[in-house]
Structure formats: C-alpha cells, structure tokens
Structure 1
Amino acid sequence: MNYGWIEGSPDFKAEVAKLYRREVNPDHILQTNGCTGANLDATWPWLSPATM
C-alpha cells in the first residue's frame, strides 16, 4: 500500500496547467483531497496562534 502523490499527481497538475490561457507552472498548482482540504488551505494564512 502507498498513499500516492502527497503533493498531487504530476500528470494531473500538468493537465490542469493546460486549462489556463497563459503559461502556468504545474509546480504552482496545489491539488487537494476534496473541498475540506481546499478550504483549509485557503483559510490557513488568515489564522494566527492567537485565534487557535
């Protein structure tokens, strides 16, 4: 057993990068496991130790 690509599949990221009109580096694409992971990643920068 393995967990697969922890940082996201390189093939998937390359295909997503093709969806943009300008050139996007696949390494700049963040792949998450579902909405919960995406929401956490989107809100994490707003949190500070004082709010936790």
Structure 2
Amino acid sequence: MEDIPFWGNREKKDSIYLHSFAVSRNMAGKGIGGEVISFIRDMGRKK
C-alpha cells in the first residue's frame, strides 16, 4: 500500500507506517493500544 502524498520520497516499499492512533479515554487501560501495535508489528514482519 502506498501513501506517497503523505510520506513523499520517504515512502518505502517494505515499510508499514502508522499515521496516528488513539484509544478512547473510556477504553484506556484495557490493553487495546498494545494489541493494535502488536498486530501492526506482526503484519510488518510478514511482509
């Protein structure tokens, strides 16, 4: 997936970028953020 308009010349074919990420305050402390980051990290390792 390309995102040249956002990353410009920094776009790399073998990279995954997380542009922004937030967890609703009422869901904070439930481990959701860590799970999402782990999922993205694992997705990158499979590429």
TM-score computed with the length of structure 1 as normaliser? 0.26
TM-score computed with the length of structure 2 as normaliser? 0.28
